[in-house]
Chains A and B, each alone.
Chain A
Amino acid sequence: MRQFKGWYWMALVAAMLLIAIVAIARGAVSVSLAAVVDALRGRGDPTAVAIVRDLRLPRIVLGALVGAGLGASGAALQGALRNPLAEPYLLGVSGGAAVGAVIAFALGATSDALITLAAFGGAIAAVFVALGVARVGGRSARADLRTLLIAGVIVGAFANAAIMVALANTSPNNIRGALWWMMGSAVDANWQRVAWLAVSVLVAGGSLVYWAREIDVLSLGEDTAASLGVDVERAGRRAFLLAALLAAATVSAAGLIGFIGLVVPHIARGMGLRTNRPLIIAAGLIGATLVVAADLAARTVAAPTELPLGAITALLGVPFFLIQLRRIS
């Protein structure tokens, strides 16, 4: 396997910054690099200042945080669940968030904060339902991690059914809003949302980085992890909850953006990272870069029509995943 070199970190950060700068400059109205620098400092053409500071910058920061959250969440989950196919949306988080948001839409909510809150509440509710299902379904009081994964999938399936029922009973106008939300988009970015997501990503992501060594041990299997002094049930639940919290925050801020949580950890591993602390950090950086790039594509490829971000990440993610799969086998 490839050896991860120190300068890769610089390359990862540089790639993210480069994409961010391009994303600020390009769009329906292109702004020159010099004008971008001026606008960021609040000088120059007021239209350019408004486009850069009020429209594009919050959108790019939001996209980066969503990507970072999903990448880190996926990396931690794959390690803790010992499953290369684990990803944040399998935890029922996505379905739960969608149910929360769709219910809010169906009730005619238009306030941005209200929908974000409803989505977050739905996601967290789904996680706890999954934990409960796993506890009942498991053989003992201990919610074993595999049961937890299955419980998450089941809760997600139930949530999808609930969404369809809710959508069948709602006005066409609300359906469009709900659908757009489910396809994932950074279009409604504002600083309030960015701040809320930044806090969640820093707290939950930082905690995962802190507990990363424990996830290394967990990924050796339950008996071995126990022999190394890890309380397997508690450690597994902790990783699960933190990963779910990260995913819930991203989903409530930008809807469903598929494939990032699944693919990004594999990219980081492909660069030669094996232990979870650097892996989670690198997955965050790569995820941020990819979502900002995908959002740039969503805005510009078919301009002035905007494409759903979640569809772009999946369109890019699927072929990538197939290549990865060939390299593994």
Chain B
Amino acid sequence: MIEIKDLVVAYPGRRTNAVDGVSFVSARGRLTALAGPNGSGKSSIVKAVLRRADIPRGSVSVDGRDVRLLSYGELARKVAVVPQREDAAFPVQVREYVALGRYPHLGLWRAPSREDELAVSEALTQAGVDDLADRDTDALSGGEWQRVRIARALAQKTPALVLDEPTTFLDVAHEMAIFELLSSLARSGLAVLLVSHQLNLVARFADTIVLLDQGKVATSGSPTEVMRADRLESIYRWPVVVTRDPAVGAPSLVPLRRPMQL
């Protein structure tokens, strides 16, 4: 479980706080989505979870322990993160890449054990990238690369998983496949925290949505509670209507064209 309490994240040289008193919980067995406009503080929260941001106030704790009191290794055994951007400097074989997920579990000589190899094969299967194992990372399509990155995080075998925009640049089928995967991971007992712009997909898959605006929680709750036209309009500063998805009945956001100025 990841618990964010009254979190403030500040960057040097910026007058306003990137994250300004945010609290929410990403519980085990649930898919929690973190949404909001660009610059609303989503990625800063991910950085705070990774201990890569200054936290002047508040706390991030994982399974009841403040991340600042954990060593980097301990933290990596509790939370796996798939950051927004990642470009491997040199191509690596997919199996070797996924095996890097075992880094926080390696012993003094950094040699992989039988257990590590097992975790890698399991992660490859879970993420559905078994058949890519012998390929190089520079020979993957965008969708394959995202799944391979998720496999690397799964190889960490952590109780919590954080993903920052894992479906950017992906087509409908690949996007759906990732959401299905994350949803099943949550069902299997993981705490999954997903940063995403895809409000309509989030509304169909997430158990809880936390909607951020200018570093604060604007609203949070179940998709039906959060997806209300008036709230979304004031957060995104754009006219919208919220309808029902004809197939599954989930709330669905439709942004409108701006009325013509006469």
A residues lining the B interface (CB < 8 Å)? 1, 78-79, 82-84, 139-140, 210, 212-214, 216-217, 219-224, 226-232, 269, 274-275
Please, which residue of chain A has its CB at the minimum distance from the CB of B92? A274
Q: Can you name 8 extra interface pairs (CB under 8 A) apart from A223-B86, A232-B52? A: A84-B90, A221-B86, A223-B83, A227-B50, A229-B74, A229-B103, A269-B90, A274-B92
- Which of B89, B110, B156 has most chain A Cβ within 10 Å? B89
Complex contact A274–B91 (CB within 8 A) = yes
Complex contact A224–B86 (CB within 8 A) = yes
- Asked if B87 CB lies within 8 Å of chain A CBs, one says yes
Complex contact A228–B136 (CB within 8 A) = no
Contact A219:B76 (CB < 8 A) given known A226-B50, A227-B50, A230-B103: no
Q: In whole angstroms, how far apart are the Cα atoms of A232 and B72 in the complex? A: 10
- Asked if B262 CB lies within 8 Å of chain A CBs, one says no
What 4 A-B pairs have minimum CB-CB distances, sorted nearest first? A229-B76, A82-B89, A229-B104, A227-B81
Q: In whole angstroms, how far apart are the Cα atoms of A299 and B101 in the complex? A: 49
Q: List the B side residues contacting A219 at CB < 8 Å.
A: 88-90
- Name the one of A1, A82, A228 contacting B76, with C-beta atoms under 8 angstroms: A228
Q: In whole angstroms, how far apart are the Cα atoms of A98 and B103 in the complex? A: 39
B99 to chain A, nearest CB (A): 9
Contact A227:B89 (CB < 8 A) given known A139-B12, A217-B103, A274-B96: no
Q: In whole angstroms, how far apart are the Cα atoms of A206 and B84 in the complex? A: 35
A294 to chain B, nearest CB (A): 26
Q: In whole angstroms, how far apart are the Cα atoms of A181 and B81 in the complex? A: 50
B41 to chain A, nearest CB (A): 16
Contact A229:B73 (CB < 8 A) given known A220-B100, A223-B83, A224-B86: yes
Q: List the A side residues contacting B51 at CB < 8 Å.
A: 226
Q: List the A side residues contacting B45 at CB < 8 Å.
A: none
Q: List the A side residues contacting B71 at CB < 8 Å.
A: 229
Of residues 78 through 118 on chain B, the ones whose CB sits less than 8 Å from some CB of chain A are: 79-93, 96, 100-101, 103-104, 106, 110
- Asked if B240 CB lies within 8 Å of chain A CBs, one says no
A223 to chain B, nearest CB (A): 4
Q: In whole angstroms, how far apart are the Cα atoms of A85 and B18 in the complex? A: 35
Contact A228:B90 (CB < 8 A) given known A221-B85, A223-B50, A275-B96: no
Q: List the A side residues contacting B103 at CB < 8 Å.
A: 213-214, 216-217, 228-230
Q: In whole angstroms, how far apart are the Cα atoms of A12 and B4 in the complex? A: 54
Q: List the B side residues contacting A223 at CB < 8 Å.
A: 47, 50, 52, 81, 83-86
B134 to chain A, nearest CB (A): 9
B39 to chain A, nearest CB (A): 18
Q: In whole angstroms, how far apart are the Cα atoms of A139 and B53 in the complex? A: 13
- Name the one of A82, A212, A217, A227 contacting B83, with C-beta atoms under 8 angstroms: A227
Complex contact B83–A84 (CB within 8 A) = no
Contact A230:B72 (CB < 8 A) given known A224-B83, A274-B96, A275-B96: yes
Please, which residue of chain B has its CB at the minimum distance from the CB of A216? B100
Please, which residue of chain B has its CB at the minimum distance from the CB of A234? B72
Q: List the A side residues contacting B84 at CB < 8 Å.
A: 223
Q: List the B side residues contacting A82 at CB < 8 Å.
A: 89
B50 to chain A, nearest CB (A): 5
Contact A140:B12 (CB < 8 A) given known A226-B51, A227-B80: yes
- Name the one of A213, A226, A231 contacting B106, with C-beta atoms under 8 angstroms: A213
Contact A228:B101 (CB < 8 A) given known A223-B50, A223-B52, A223-B81: yes
Complex contact A84–B101 (CB within 8 A) = no
Complex contact B136–A1 (CB within 8 A) = yes
B149 to chain A, nearest CB (A): 8
- Asked if B77 CB lies within 8 Å of chain A CBs, one says yes
